[in-house]
């Protein structure tokens, strides 16, 4: 690319203008807050509200939660900053970014990300579809017309209905496609700015309600007092995978969002605040859900249906429960939408940048293919219920396992190694400090991303796949 300093001042001005125009054409967030809100929107999703509570329940609580928080600080925050630095420096999709920075085998890391985006969104839409179905049930007042003991059965009914699941999955995918068609600052940003704050407030309310319910104290003990004997290598991998999934890391989503941010954005501040927000939402979701589990003598290790089987019980009993149910499931659908759009955006950005497809063509075509790949996930509890791929996991749980516990840790490991060892210190530091940003913790970050993040990910990862 032409360097500005090689031209005379007049040409430099013209060059900058053209350069800026091409950036604008690709898309930029309209404000710095817009970037932070969009990234938080990507991070906060089903991972926090559906997945965090149930994997915590299945992995014994306290010790898992503490190891999860360790992963956020040692792996998540450093990696998020790394992805944002790569994205903003190149202003490209993951494949284009790695190709332009180093090329060769490193381009595969970008490919891994695009593939993960494709795979994750396919089943993400199915789970989001369950949330849309529950929103519909809430609107009809179904929870208040059922006795608490009958409520968990509603989820079983949904899982057995193929058509209903495919219908809601299609509806959700349609909404994701619609927003991504709108482009960066029109579609993505506007949607996020409205949805995120509402989501946070409602969840806060539900968590306070949980703490003061009879199961509150047991739930807090379950979540925060560690029993270290329950922390197996397998659950460490799940905590790591969950941290990456929840922060949208290891596949280039934050890289892609970073690529739409401008030179003045304070990336360390963005990475830190997004990670902290995301972790707060996950913990709030746990604090809202586990009191119900303990109050009603349910199983903490109840599996992927946990949030759908527990919270509606409360809605069926509390005053104005139907109204709260509508708000809550609306929130869950919003959260899923803002994450779903970031997953699709990674794949669409690749086809727009590299293959020069129009945004319209890329979004519609890829969106449809992802929907098709999601159909077996939608059928995994009914027609395909005897079809197990990994252990005794059904199709949906297997590809979730594959994506969260293999693709994302592998992607995370490679991105950390790339940021710490391949990017020069000069490049990384000058990218972070653009726009007069002062980053006092640069050496701490660089040490973490160079040594601690890759070693931690590699140890946990290799141990679980049996190589170490």
Q: Interface residues with ligand PHE (CB under 6 A)? A: 42-43, 45-48, 120, 245-246, 248, 251, 253, 339, 342-343
Residue 253 or 448 having the CB closest to ligand PHE: 253
Nearer to ligand PHE, 248 or 265 (CB): 248
Report the nearest approach of ligand PHE to the CB of residue 43 (Å). Answer: 5
**Residues 58 and 222 sit within 8 Å (Cβ to Cβ):** no
Closest distance between ligand PHE and the C-beta of residue 340, in Å? 8
Q: Which is nearer to ligand PHE, 80 or 206 (CB)?
A: 80
Nearest residue to ligand PHE, by Cβ distance, number only:
47
How far apart are CB 410 and ligand PHE at their closest, in Å?
A: 14
The smaller minimum CB distance to ligand PHE, of residues 236 and 343, is found at: 343
CA 275/CA 39 separation, integer angstroms: 9
Determine the 3-state secondary structure of 232 from DSSP: coil
In terms of CB distance, is 58 or 403 closer to ligand PHE?
Answer: 403
342/363 with CB nearer ligand PHE = 342
CB of 211 to ligand PHE, least distance (A): 23
Q: How far is the CB of 128 from ligand PHE (least distance, A)?
A: 9
**Nearest distance, CB of residue 46 and ligand PHE, angstroms:** 4
Shortest distance, position 201 Cβ to ligand PHE, whole Å: 19
Q: Which is nearer to ligand PHE, 74 or 254 (CB)?
A: 254
């Amino acid at each position: 690319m032409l360097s500005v300093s090689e031209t005379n001042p007049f040409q430099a001005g013209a060059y900058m203008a053209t350069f800026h125009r091409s950036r604008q054409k690709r898309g930029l967030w309209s404000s710095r807050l817009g970037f932070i809100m969009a990234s938080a929107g990507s991070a906060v999703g089903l991972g926090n509200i559906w997945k965090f509570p149930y994997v915590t329940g299945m992995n014994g609580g306290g010790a898992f939660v503490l190891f999860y928080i360790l992963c956020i600080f040692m792996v998540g925050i450093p990696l998020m900053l790394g992805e944002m630095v790569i994205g903003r420096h190149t202003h490209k999709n993951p494949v284009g970014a790695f190709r332009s920075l180093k090329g060769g085998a490193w381009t595969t890391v970008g490919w891994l990300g695009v593939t993960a985006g494709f795979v994750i969104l396919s089943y993400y839409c199915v789970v989001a579809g369950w949330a849309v179905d529950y929103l519909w049930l809430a609107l009809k007042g179904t929870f208040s017309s059922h006795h608490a003991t009958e409520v968990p059965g509603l989820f079983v009914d949904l899982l057995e209905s193929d058509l209903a699941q495919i219908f809601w999955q299609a509806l959700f995918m349609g909404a994701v496609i619609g927003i991504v068609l709108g482009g960066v600052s029109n579609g993505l940003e506007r949607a996020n700015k409205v949805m995120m704050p509402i989501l946070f407030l409602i969840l806060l309310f539900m968590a306070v309600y949980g703490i003061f319910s009879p199961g509150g104290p047991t739930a807090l003990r379950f979540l925060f007092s560690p029993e270290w004997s329950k922390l197996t290598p397998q659950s460490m991998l799940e905590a790591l995978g969950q941290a990456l999934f929840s922060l949208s890391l290891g596949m280039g989503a934050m890289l892609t969002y970073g690529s739409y941010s401008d030179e003045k954005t304070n990336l360390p501040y963005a990475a830190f605040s997004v990670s902290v927000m995301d972790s707060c939402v996950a913990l709030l979701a746990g604090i809202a859900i586990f009191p119900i589990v303990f109050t009603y003598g349910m199983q903490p290790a109840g599996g992927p249906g946990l949030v759908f089987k527990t919270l509606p019980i409360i809605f069926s009993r509390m005053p104005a429960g139907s109204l709260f149910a509508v708000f809550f499931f609306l929130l869950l659908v919003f959260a899923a939408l803002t994450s779903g759009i970031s997953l699709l955006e990674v794949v669409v950005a690749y086809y727009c940048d590299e293959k020069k497809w129009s945004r319209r063509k890329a979004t519609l075509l890829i969106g449809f293919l992802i929907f098709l790949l999601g159909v077996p996930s939608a059928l995994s509890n009914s027609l395909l219920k005897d079809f197990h791929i990994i252990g005794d996991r059904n199709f949906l749980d297997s590809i979730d396992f594959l994506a969260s516990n293999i693709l994302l840790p592998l992607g995370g490991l490679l991105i950390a190694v790339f940021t710490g060892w391949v990017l020069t210190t000069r490049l990384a530091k000058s990218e972070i400090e653009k726009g007069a940003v002062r980053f006092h913790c640069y050496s701490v970050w660089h040490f973490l991303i160079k040594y601690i993040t890759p070693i931690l990910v590699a140890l946990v990862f290799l141990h679980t796949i049996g190589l170490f």
